[in-house]
Amino acid sequence: MKRKATALLYAFTAAAILLVGVFTLNQITAAAGLFDTIIPYGGLAFIALSTTVIVWLAWTAVRFLSTPRHPALPGDAGAKDLASYAAWMGSRMPVHPMHPDRNGKQSDLRWVRANLKLLEAEALTATKEVATKNFFVGAFAQGTAYGTSTSFFNMIRLVWRIYCMHHRRQNFREFIALTRGVYELLPLSDFQKEEIPAHIKPIIQSSFSNTLSSLLPAGNLLTPFFLNLFLAGSTNAYLTCLAGMITTRRCQMTTEEDRREIVQQSMFEAAFMLKEIVRECNPVLSVTISTAVKKAGIESLDTVTPPTAGSGIAQDLFSHLANSVKHIIRENISVEKGGE
């Protein structure tokens, strides 16, 4: 089935190219005949101009769609071809501004590793920044098309950002191959139930951290609501961290051993970064939601009509109770603002 679909796609592409070519040639011939009737040798000049434009278009398309040659990855750190592979990487990566030897020999293995360490730190900073944004996107826009599309495009931009950090000259097909490789290593892209617990564990640990426990006392009616927000935000942030880590590891791998350790190393680093993000975002999210809920409660209690001379006992009790609750909520808000 796959071979038949591939053959059909190739046949359809060839037919489309043929039709476009015939149509273009027909239009050029017709326009050349028109120019011949207006200007002497105008048709030949138009054909020459059209040919130049078509050749230029084909040349730029080939340059855009071609992929640079990649030497084979060395087997391990002791391989003989590691030095030549490091020289190839050094020729493609930009020099980090903080490199202690910016004018050094970029083909040297030690120089390349020092530059990769600095680029890794910059990539981790970018990953944490985007993952923090996706934490709030996942918390407030969970289950919506806007939240899904925003998180997805943030991840794509993160992959592109890290790719540009490690490559002086960008290539379209190389970036597409990198994005596809990152996607294939993410959980649920190729579902294997044995791997799911390893990915769920850091999300649960971060969502039920000590910080969250201190923010949500027992018996709080908003606890299920908060937990739902934290779980959604933590899941989104973890996937973003994992995508950033995998991208960084793929851009920095120098041996086959590094390739085999990409997933495990990325999962460990993503879990550690997720804890930092949740620790920073949970207080902000909790205070924001709590304040909004309390203000909404006060506004709803303000709509309760005060007791009148003709009202019954039930109406009087309800009005006094609403007034008391409203004062308590206002006192809590003033105490929280004073504590801040």
pTM: 0.75
Question: CA 115, 118, 119: angle at the middle one, nearest 5?
Answer: 85
Q: What is the pLDDT of residues 79-94, one digit of tens each?
A: 788 888 888 888 888 8
Regarding whether 335 and 234 lie in a shared domain, the answer is no
Regarding whether 133 and 262 lie in a shared domain, the answer is yes
Could you list the residue range(s) of the whole structural domain that residue 318 is in?
304-339
- Residues 295/302, Cβ–Cβ less than 8 Å: no
Provide the pLDDT confidence category of residue 165 given band limits of 50, 70 and 90: very high
Regarding whether 131 and 34 lie in a shared domain, the answer is no
Q: Is residue 74 part of a domain?
A: no
- Residues 183/189, Cβ–Cβ less than 8 Å: yes
Regarding whether 202 and 159 lie in a shared domain, the answer is yes
Q: What is the pLDDT of residues 132-160, one digit of tens each?
A: 999 888 887 877 888 888 999 999 999 99
Regarding whether 112 and 214 lie in a shared domain, the answer is yes
Q: Is residue 73 part of a domain?
A: no
- Residues 119/165, Cβ–Cβ less than 8 Å: yes
Residue 306 has pLDDT above 70, yes or no: no
How many domains in the chain? 3
- Average pLDDT of the chain is 78
